[in-house]
Chains A and B, each alone.
Chain A
Amino acid sequence: MRRNFLSVAGVFLFVLFFIAACSQSPGGRAANAVTVWHWMTDREEVFQELAKRYEAKTGIRVSFELYAPSDAYAQKVRAAAQGNNLPDVFGLLGEKRDFSSFVKAGHILNLTPYMQDSNQEWQNRFFAKALSVNEFTPGNSYEVEPGIYGVPIDIMTIQMLYNKDLYKELGFNPSKPPKTFAEFLEVGKRISAYGGKEKKMQGLVSGWGEAWMIDCLANNYAFNIMGKDKVLATLKGKVPYTDLDWIKVLSLFKDMQDSGVLSSGIVTMVNKNAEQLFANGRAVFAFNGSWCVNVYREMDPKLNYAPMLPPLASDKFPMSIWGGAGSSFIVNARSKNKEEAVKFLKWLTGRDQQVYLAEVTRNPPANKDSLGKISALMAEFANDMDLSTHPSTWGVSEYPQVIEAFDKGIQSIIIGEKTPEEVAREVQKIKEREMAR
């Protein structure tokens, strides 16, 4: 009897210890060492190498921990935030609204004093637009204390690319990509009529199954058609989505579909497949981020392509493309090692480390002094930073439900089940509901 009792008690204690062992206190991490969480599988080896170099130089151990895919990583960071168990340094995936919640919850260190130390030496290293993605300006609608809260490690722009060989095959001048939307639609008509290669040439490919890329192109055209002020006024609820300019933006997607310039099946296409189609020389255009330089090089080093701006739909306002910091690291405000973490990030964004990162990963560096050392194609992407904008820099954001309705609405337009006017009405209805909430 006594033995039974002891066995049961033993099992119970084991369960208790097991559960206790599964949790980790925030203070459980080693002091005088920096732990970094990230999701960038393509940069893991480079990070490990840089960590070795840093340890050899300073004696401080930096442990990079990779958690992929990015969705799983984002969930891990959220869960760690809820349990106050974040590492010393981590990256945030999500919108500015989420970023602001992390700041307001006290998880993110305000780096402004460090950035402005020694005549803003650290701050001046970066492209201003890359830094602004991680910045909250005075009077921001998120009610976050103004400051810089993240360190960009590379930059990115999202723009169009065209395959010069296929473009030539269609009878166009390969050094003159379409500049206006009408010219762009003309290419679509030519693709539809193309009879070579068993009609297997596709027009524009992009990961529009992941709706954020549709949102990106739609915003490019919103800036081009109505200008930044009107776009921001819409976000603030002062201009409805039923405005003619917004309907014009939505109608562009119908025009693209009707002209045949969109690849078939684009509404469920994931970006990986789009990249394969473009790299295999099966699509004339791609809408992709600057990370594609590395992707295409690995798939086909001889691919003859060049970036181009999305063709203008209006001459009222300039075209803006999304761009800014590609990936950023932030410092845990509650970390015991935050000073060491800041020192490491300063070192990581130094010129030599940035050149090394850019050379190996082929992502344009965030440190502008490193630009002269990278390839011409990569520099072409980086140079378009001047035309870039990003929702994270607007100081105001749209409700996620509205963004979803807008992006899914565009998918509905492309598959021909809704008109631009219907989508505009639905989006506006959701906007009004969210504003009233």
Chain B
Amino acid sequence: MRVKSTLENYLFVLPAAGIFAIFYIIPFIWVFQLGLYSWDGILPTKIFVGLANFKEIFFEDKIWWGAMRNAGYITLIALTLQNALAFLLAWACDREIRMKNFYRMIFFIPPVLSEVVVGLVWQWILDGNYGLLNGWLANLGLAQWSHNWLSDPATALTTIAIVHSWKGFGWGFLIFLAGLQTIPRELYEAARVDGANAWASFRNITVPLMIPVTVLVAILTILGTMQAFVLIIAMTDGGPAYHTQVPVLRILASMRGSSRFGYACAQGISFGVILMAISFIQYRFSKTARQV
């Protein structure tokens, strides 16, 4: 009877496990296996190169690490600017303000827009020759601030990071808002009765109780931002030179431009492992923070 029950339990899990294995585990193993070969993606013959592709990624490919640095910079802006904005707006909408449902809807519009469309619209706004932003600056008498925002290496990456933050803050906003709404109101009332001011309530109630949500948002932000590329393709295609290259664009370049499928697979695996490591470290760090 017990064996039958166990068997049945496994049978229930089997479809989900099967789907997970077919769409995640097997491709992952296959991609890792391809990463051990030199292959152009077309010819039936593959040359086994062992870990040479991984060695090249970690010790020789400076462009790859430049792309990682760029992605790290965009992520840093997203973690700070984007999430601070998301938290601030969520906190404001969680309070009794007029038209809060309207704001909730408005703030969630950017994330649901197509990244390509957003990229093209912002490219049009930021165009150095005839862009709206430079036009507005000129109308305000600030023509000296007009700039080639996307073509100048000094501003291209930051501009992309800001547009990415604008596009992505709605997700964080939604999760933060849901988190804020789970905090019992009685805690704030009790604190008020005990004489706590708004700042003390925020510091001693909101912040500690929001740590799990903040960790979740931070992990999602890191994973989402490090993998961002559609917006970048639409705005600069990784240029000028290599100034807005990100890892996914490099994987695409290896696969599409250089026809190095094996190398692209090795890049994909390395990138995945790096992201998992970052998420794990962050999770451990947040666990420690919560215990403190």
Residues of A in contact with B (beta carbons under 8 Å apart): 1, 4-5, 8-9, 11-12, 15, 19, 71, 74-75, 78, 81-82, 94, 97-98, 101-102, 104-105, 107, 200, 202, 209-211, 263-270, 273, 277, 282, 400-401, 404, 408-409, 411-412, 414-415, 417
Contact = CB atoms under 8 A, between A and B. Distances in A.
A71 B258 contact: no
Give the secondary structure class of B's interface: loop
Interface stretch (B103-111, B204-212, B239-247): B239-247
Contacts of B11: 5, 8-9
Contact of B148 (A211, A264, A417): A264
A415 B240 contact: yes
Q: Which of A71, A81, A400 has the most CB atoms of chain B within a 10 A radius of its CB?
A: A400
B129 interface: yes
B42 interface: yes
Interface in B122-139: 123, 127-130
A265 B241 contact: no
B44 A268 contact: no
Interface string B3-34: 00000100110110011001000000000000
B42 A101 contact: yes
13 contacts: A1-B8, A4-B8, A19-B22, A74-B256, A98-B259, A105-B44, A209-B236, A265-B128, A265-B151, A266-B151, A267-B240, A273-B127, A408-B241
Nearest to B13: A8
A402 to B, nearest CB: 10
B240 A210 contact: no
A1 B14 CA distance: 17
B256 A209 contact: no
Contact of B237 (A94, A107, A210, A417): A210
A263 B128 CA distance: 10
Given A81-B42, A268-B150, A209 B239 contact: yes
Contacts of B242: 408
Contacts of B156: 268
Given A97-B259, A209-B237, A401-B258, A15 B8 contact: no
A266 B43 CA distance: 37
A415 B241 contact: yes
- The 6 A-B residue pairs whose C-beta atoms are closest, nearest first, are A101-B42, A265-B151, A267-B240, A265-B128, A400-B258, A412-B241
B115 interface: no
A406 B41 CA distance: 24
Nearest to B236: A268
Nearest to A269: B151
Interface in B142-201: 148, 150-153, 156
A264 B151 contact: yes
A131 B123 CA distance: 39
Contacts of A98: 40, 42, 259
Nearest to A95: B259
B151 A268 contact: yes
Contact of A415 (B18, B22, B151): B151
A273 B22 CA distance: 43
B236 A8 contact: no
B143 to A, nearest CB: 10
Contact of A15 (B15, B44, B256): B15
Contact of A411 (B19, B241, B258): B241
Nearest to A283: B129
A285 to B, nearest CB: 15
Contacts of B273: none
Contact of B259 (A71, A202, A400): A400
Nearest to B22: A19
Given A8-B14, A264-B128, 5 more contacts: A4-B12, A94-B259, A267-B240, A268-B236, A415-B153
Contact of B43 (A5, A105, A400, A404): A105
A74 B123 CA distance: 25
Interface string B212-243: 00000000000000000000000111011110
